[in-house]
Amino acid sequence: MIDQLKEKLKNLEIKQVKIKSKLQELEEKRAEEINELEEKYRHLVAEVSLDVDKYEIEVNNALIDSFIESIMKEFDAKRSTSEYEVTDEIKAYRHFIANVELFPKELIESLDKVIDGEQPIENIAYDLEKIKDTYMKS
């Protein structure tokens, strides 16, 4: 009986040695397949993110373009009359743009100063190229 148990224990050790190499092989294959799958999804996530990032840049640039256009319209309105008052259009634009999270707060503050009469519209109009260079993204 002891000899039979010794034989079974010996056979168990042999089987454990054999299975270790097979288990290691399976673990390596598993790790390789997981890496391939993770790489595939990293690529897909990057593609989706890239589209959103590109669109965010497009929206940001459209917002800056709208600011430039609004300032130029206001500047033209001021030049076309001797009795200039801040237009309702620029006030409405300022109200709208203040609720847009992407829009730079500094530009809203500049608009506020114009609307409150603290600075002339020319101060912004003459800096539009600088504003464009600062806030436009590529």
**Three-class DSSP category at 103:** coil
Q: How far apart are CA 107 and CA 19, in angstroms?
A: 69
Mean pLDDT rounded to a whole number for the chain = 91
Nearest to 66 by CA among 84, 88, 92: 92
Does residue 33 carry a pLDDT above 80?
yes
pLDDT above 90 covers a percentage of the chain that reads 63
pLDDT in tens, 61-98: 999 999 999 999 999 888 887 777 888 999 999 999 99
Rg (CA), the chain: 34
Domain coordinates in residue numbering, the chain: 2-135
Amino acid 48: pLDDT: 85
Amino acid 77: pLDDT: 86
Tokens of 106: 């500094």
Output the pTM of the full model.
Answer: 0.66
Amino acid 69: pLDDT: 95
